[in-house]
Amino acid sequence: MTRACPRLRKLVFGIALTWCIGPVAAFSYERPNFQPGFNFFSRKQDVAVGRKAAAQMDRTLPLVRDPVVVRYVNGLGKYLAQYAPNQNGFKYDWTFQVVNSNQINAFALPGGYIFLNRGAIVAAQNEAQIAGVIAHEEGHVVMRHGTHQASEKLLADAPLEILAGYLGQSGSLLDTLAQMGIGFSVNSFFLKNSRDMEAQADQVGTYILYRSGYDPYAMVQFFQIIQKKYPQQTAQFFSDHPNPGNRIEAVGREVPELGPPRPWKTNSPAFEAVKQLLLAMPPPPKPGTGG
């Protein structure tokens, strides 16, 4: 971080990075029934797969190491994760990193490892919008989309008698993935979601936003803004996150079913300060030049 913005740094350190909205009170609305697809992996194996892939990405991706930015994103991400469904007491390894790239994108590895591009934070107009991006990625985690896709490929490619020998054996499925050349790299097939998966992540993300007190329409607002305002910087985003169609209408139908409207949280001084810190940093490295 440059020395040109000590006041910004002091401002961010002076902000209490706690989210004190509190849970939404229980209403007589029916809770959505989010059901992940079939999966050969346990959730513990999701974490093991994600941890290994995240460690590789930590070594190869240019990351924003500024402790203020990292602390802010992890605080917001972990706050939102409290409201993610399908956890049932299981502790995902919720970890959030900021990639030093102007490209507007984000992706989630199995087990709770989420990478958010610097460009996405800068493009967001308020905290609720970047919360929507994070909540959407948390939706991919709890719906277990990555290992679901890996399970489908194993079922298609591995002889059943061989596959049957691996089921229930600790760690063996992970070894099988490696032997078959199946991995979770940045450009991995398993990080490119189908439209159905995007629709599910939208639903879960909207649910998380509503339950956590953020504007539940903010995620869709972000998608609309970046598609219109940053078409060149979002090509990869919409390649990895294909529009399931009728996104606005789908969210518009879902929100009233979650409960009554309330005074939504949309922004915070912490978000604005972190955004200014990122804008004041030197430009990100060009692809292929390292961090």
- Give Cβ neighbours of residue 286 (< 8 Å, ≥ 6 apart): none
pLDDT reading at 246 higher than 90: no
184 closest CA partner among 133, 139, 132, 148: 148
Please report, as a single letter, which amino acid is at residue 69: V
Tally of residues, the chain: 291
Phi, psi of 281 (to 5 degrees): -75, 160
Residue 1 confidence (pLDDT): 42
The residue-averaged pLDDT of 30-55 equals 88
CA dihedral 203, 198, 133, 252 (to 10 degrees): -40
pTM of the model: 0.84
pLDDT reading at 65 higher than 90: yes
> Would you give the DSSP letter of residue 115?
E
pLDDT reading at 50 higher than 70: yes
Q: Radius of gyration over alpha carbons of the chain, in Å?
A: 19
> How far is the first Cα of the chain from the last one, in angstroms, to the nearest whole number?
13
Residue 189 confidence (pLDDT): 55
On average, the pLDDT of the chain sits at: 82
Contact 11, 273 (CB under 8 A): yes
Environment class of 139 (CB within 10 Å of its CB; exposed 0-12, middle 13-18, buried 19+): buried
pLDDT grade for 205, boundaries at 50, 70 and 90: very high
The residue-averaged pLDDT of 216-235 equals 85
pLDDT grade for 232, boundaries at 50, 70 and 90: confident
- Residue with the larger pLDDT of the pair 213 and 29: 213
- Give Cβ neighbours of residue 107 (< 8 Å, ≥ 6 apart): 114, 115, 137, 186, 191, 240
Residues 15, 78: Cα–Cα separation, whole Å: 17
